[in-house]
Amino acid sequence: MITKDELPICPVTTAIGLIGNKWRLHILRLLFNDSYRFNVLLKSIPGISPKVLTDNLRFLEANSLVNRKVYSEIPLHVEYSLSDFGEELRPIIAAVRSFGIKYCTLKHKKITELPLPNKKA
């Protein structure tokens, strides 16, 4: 049996590995609309802990999907935004959303999308 590291590199598997957990999709969905501070993101994603948000933001930044900008004012603050490379995910996520709407409609499931945050939160 071969290990995961010995598998050939598959572009679909690679892409899903970058965005394929529920937290990253929520973060990206928010960042498609605007840049946000950490606490706004934290309050806007029900159930996510500060550590999990931090870990996922670091992962997305390390993989060039998200930008992190530090403002050296008092008090110091940081904003996260979608990178130009991350912007390439927009039509992909839109297509996944469209598929999800069709699927929920077909299966008579109620669609509940989280509201976008207020930047001052």
pLDDT in tens, 73-83: 888 889 999 99
Residue 42 CB contacts under 8 Å (≥ 6 apart), including other chains: 48, 50, 53
Give me the pLDDT at residue 81, please. 98
Q: Which domain holds residue 39?
A: 15-106
Query: Which amino acid is residue 58, in one-letter code?
Result: R
Residue 116 CB contacts under 8 Å (≥ 6 apart), including other chains: 30, 33, 34, 44
Residue 115 pLDDT grade (very low, low, confident, very high; cuts 50, 70, 90): confident
Structural domains of the chain, count:
1
In a domain, 1, yes or no: no
Handedness of CA 52, 55, 28, 34 (dihedral sign): positive
* pTM attached to this predicted model: 0.86
Residue 5 pLDDT grade (very low, low, confident, very high; cuts 50, 70, 90): confident
DSSP state of 4: G
In a domain, 57, yes or no: yes
Radius of gyration of the chain (CA): 16
**Most confident listed range (1-5, 9-13, 114-118):** 9-13
Give me the pLDDT at residue 64, please. 98
pLDDT in tens, 37-92: 999 999 999 999 999 999 999 999 999 999 999 998 888 889 999 999 999 999 99
Sheet arrangement for strand 36-37: 36-37, 77-82, 66-71
Q: What angle do CA 85, 28, 111 make, to 5 degrees?
A: 140
**For helices 90-106 and 22-31, angle between their N-to-C axes, nearest 10 degrees:** 120
Q: CATH number for the domain including 65?
A: 1.10.10.10
In a domain, 46, yes or no: yes
In a domain, 96, yes or no: yes
